[in-house]
Amino acid sequence: MNKWGLIISLTIIAAGLLYLFIKSIRGRDVERRFIFLFMGLAVAVPILFNISFSEKATPIVKAAFDKIENLPPGSKILISFDYDPAMAPEVNPMTDAFVRHAMAKGHRVYFMNLWATGQPMVATAIDRIIKTEFPEKKNGVDYVNLGYKAGGTGVLNVIITDIRKMYLTDVNGINLDSLPIMNGIRSLRDMDLLISVGGGLPGVKEWVLFAGDPGHIPVVGGCAAVSAPLLYPYYPNQLMGLLGGIKGAAEYESELKRKYPRFAETPQPGIKMMGPQTMAHLVIMAFIIFGNISYFVLKSRGE
Amino acid sequence: MNNSRIWSIVIFAAAVLIFGLSWIIIGSQAGHNLTDAFLVTVAAFLTLSILSFLYKDNPYYKFAEHLFVGVSAAYWMSVGFWSTFVGNLLPRISPSLCTYFGVPYKGFDIFFFIPLILGVFLLMRLSSKMGWLSRWSLAFIVGTTAGLNLIRYLRSDFISQVSNTFVPLVTDWRGIGPFFSDFSLSITGQFAMSLSNWVIFVGVFCGLIYFFFSKEHKGAFGYASRMGIWVLMITFGASFGYTVMGRVSLLVGRLTFLFHDWLGLVK
């Protein structure tokens, strides 16, 4: 970590907070644009100085990691990219980590999407992870991109009994029956693990409801932070593990790095993003405290 | 010419100059070509246009917003056409069209005319006279969705969730001696696990009491109800915290793009 960067970040944040504190004890209003600017600085400075912190996997993230780790090599894992570019900064680190882990373990990976906007995300993940870090892996043998089909939960209702009723070809138009990776795959029930990464509808919850539970197939999830609290109740019986927001991604990356030291030099956007994230959270906590101080000051004055 | 008009022209000229220069500079760097540089510059312009709304509403924000809506709608429609219409429907109804689009023909299936007809009915909304036909398609969608969801939600969201609430209040109990000799505050330790199960039990129980309106919330019932609202408030707080984390992540993502891909300030 850049020590000077941390000092400069903390100095800027401390100066801003001091200004806000003085305003709050005087019971003065603060211009909202100042709040935005301050938040921008609190996030930008740690990015510029590359500030990050160490992470340790919590049990729910460790459970997701162990589920993939403990499957025998060659297991069939389906990863569904159910998100759009707007959600990508938060969940891309998760899909990267899942793909990297599955490939390192020698699993067979089936990509698909319940969101049309997830299709290019799969293509970039294949380029970014598989083609650069695992050039020996072959399309159609070690992995396949099934692409997007419209219908949301309707798609799940169909492919839980027969994948080929919905998917006749892969995303490149190649007949599924001609791909070695599809040998012996009839439905989702032939998968050893389902992974859904998303944060909207359809997403992780729909995979639990419409695939995992009725098909008795283990499901692991990765979700945008907004939907994480709604998904925790499914753990550990209906959801084997969950990565909630960028924190979950960072924990998974740290576990991957611990177990596979060769990934220490690969990009770890989740861990990298936790530096600015931590600073921003400190600032927001201070905002809440100062807001309350200001409230009580005004109340004591009878305003 | 009034002041605001002059300012608008100045800002527009500055934007054209800055982003034009950015395009040229990025394009001239090693490892970049003019097309990549143009795309990165446009992405940076659109990012800053959206962020400019934090200052106040302005034409740049409006432009980026409208562009986003238009592109999204067109993208979903074109992907839907290729993946569903060409990918799923044609292989069951037309060998010649399959050959034309280069998809494998899977044999004629008359039932696939049903979704085709319902799909055409949906498009009838565009016609004022035939718009009523779209209600048939919508009725089909609503009916099947409601039927399928009812079963799945009842099983997974109700029965399984109730079952998940039945947790042992004392986990792995081997007597008072081992409890203290193996005492650990670790999240996977016996104490923490038992405590978290108590939180689930008390939280669900008190939360349900809060929503029980057939009895006045007084006495012990009232205390449990008040506990229930505390549980709800803590849940909302946790949700808010996660929402903040999500939004900050998106901001980090965009700033990383600006500093890394556009300006090249960070590696």
* pLDDT tens digit sequence for B51-80: 999 999 999 999 999 999 999 999 999 998
CA distance B188 to B195: 11
Q: Which long-range contacts (CB under 8 A, 24 or more apart) does A188-192 make?
A: A188/A78, A188/A156, A188/A159, A188/A160, A188/A163, A188/A215, A188/A217, A189/A160, A189/A215, A189/A216, A189/A217, A190/A76, A191/A76, A191/A77, A191/A78, A191/A110, A191/A217, A192/A71, A192/A75, A192/A76, A192/A77, A192/A218
Q: For residues A158 and A93, state if they share a domain.
A: yes
Instruction: Tell which of B111, B133, B155 closes a domain.
Output: B133
DSSP state for residue A209 in the 8-state scheme: I
Q: Do A289 and A220 share a domain, yes or no?
A: no
The nearest CA of chain A is from the CA of B84 a distance in Å of: 6
Using a CB-CB distance cutoff of 8 angstroms, which residues of chain A are in contact with residue B157?
A: 209
Interface contact A39, partner B, CB < 8 A: yes
Among candidate residues B253, B254, B258, B252, the one with its CA nearest the CA of residue A276 = B252
Is residue A219 within 8 A of residue A207, CB to CB? The reply is yes
> Are the beta carbons of A90 and B149 separated by less than 8 Å?
no
Q: CA of B219, closest CA in chain A: separation in Å? A: 30
| B162 part of a folded domain | no
Domain extent at residue B182: 169-262
Higher-confidence residue: A181 or B34? A181
CA A25 to chain centre: 40
Whether B164 is covered by a domain: the verdict is: no
Residue B215 lies in a domain: yes
Residue B222 placed within a domain: yes
Position A238 scores a pLDDT of: 95
Residue in B55, B71, B141, B242 to test binding to A, most A beta-carbons within 10 Å = B242
CA–CA dist A154, B142 (Å, integer)? 12
Residue B12, pLDDT above cutoff 70:
yes
User: Are A76 and A116 members of one domain?
Assistant: yes
Judged against a pLDDT cut of 70, whether residue B1 lies above it is answered with no
A220 touches A199 (CB < 8 A) = no
Q: Do B152 and A238 touch (CB under 8 A)?
A: no
Place of tokens 């936790």: A274
Which of A48, A52, A90, A114 should be substituted to probe chain B, the one whose Cβ sees the most B Cβ atoms within 10 Å?
Answer: A90
pLDDT single digits (tens) A124-168: 999 999 999 999 999 999 999 999 998 899 999 999 999 999 999
Q: Which residues of B touch A154 (CB under 8 A)?
A: 144, 148
pLDDT tens string B91-101: 999 999 999 99
| Domain membership flag for residue B143 | no
Q: Which of B80, B113, B133 is the last residue of a domain?
A: B133
Radius of gyration of chain B (CA): 30
Residue B155 in contact with partner chain A when CB distance is under 8 A:
yes
Q: Which of B252, B263, B267 would best serve as a mutation to test chain A binding (most A beta carbons within 10 A)?
A: B252
Residue of higher predicted confidence among B253 and B2: B253
Pair A229, A91 in one domain:
yes
- By Cβ distance, the residue of B83, B246, B252 closest to A43 is B252
Predicted pLDDT at B183? 81
CA distance A156 to B239: 28
How many residue contacts between A and B have a Cβ separation below 8 Å?
A: 148
A31 with A146, same domain: the answer is: no
Q: In what order do the strands lie in the sheet with A241-244?
A: A143-148, A108-113, A76-82, A193-198, A219-223, A241-244
Instruction: Report the residue from A33, A154, A157 with minimal CB separation from B55.
Output: A33
Whether residues B235 and A88 touch (CB distance < 8 A) is answered with no
Residue B238 sits at the chain A interface (C-beta within 8 Å) = yes
Q: Which of B53, B243, B254, B257 is nearest to A36 (CA)?
A: B53
Q: Are residues B251 and B205 in the same domain?
A: yes
User: In chain A, which residues have their Cβ closer than 8 Å to the Cβ of B148?
Assistant: 153-154, 157, 210
How far apart CA A82 and CA A122 sit, in angstroms, is: 10
CA distances B221 to A276, B198, B205, Å, are 45, 19, 11
User: Can you give the pLDDT at residue B30?
Assistant: 73
Place of tokens 């562009």: B67
Largest CA distance in chain B: 88
Q: Does B198 touch chain A (CB under 8 A)?
A: no
Q: Which residues of chain A have pLDDT under 70?
A: 1-2
Model pLDDT, residue A148: 93
- State how many domains chain B has: 2
Q: Please state whether beta strands A219-223 and A143-148 pair in parallel, antiparallel, or not at all (unpaired).
A: unpaired
In this structure, are B237 and B188 located in the same domain? yes
- State whether A177 and A248 are in the same domain: yes
Cα separations in angstroms, A88 against A93, B245, B249: 8, 14, 10
* Same domain flag for B18 and B96: yes
With respect to residue B82, please indicate whether it lies within any of the assigned structural domains. yes
Torsion of CA A278, A279, A285, A291, to 10 degrees: -160
Give the pLDDT confidence of B212-227 residue by residue, as tens digits. 999 899 999 999 999 9
Same domain, B121 and B174: no
Same domain, A227 and A277: no
Query: For chain A, how many structural domains are there in total?
Result: 2
Determine, for residues B157 and A209 on separate chains, whether the beta-carbon distance falls below 8 Å: yes
Helix pair angle (B219-256, A245-259), 10° resolution: 70
User: B32 and B114 share a domain?
Assistant: yes
Residues A276 and A263 in one domain: no
Structure token digits, residue B29: 């760097």
At residue A10, the pLDDT reads 81
pLDDT of res. A80: 97
For residues B63 and B108, membership in a common domain is answered with yes
Name the residue range of residue A30's domain: 3-51+270-300
Q: Are both B22 and B80 inside the same structural domain?
A: yes
Rounding to the nearest 10 degrees, give the CA dihedral for residues A146, A152, A158, A162. 10
pLDDT digits (tens, 9 = 90+) for B183-192: 887 877 888 8
Q: B243 lies in a domain?
A: yes
pTM for the model: 0.91
| Residues B149-179: tens digit of each pLDDT | 999 999 999 999 999 999 899 888 888 888 8
B243, B123: one domain: no
Q: Is B127 within 8 Å of chain A by CB? A: no
Residue B74 lies in a domain: yes
Is the same domain home to B128 and B173? Answer: no
Q: What is the per-residue pLDDT for A28?
A: 78
> Which of B79, B148, B249 lies closest to A225 in CB terms?
B249
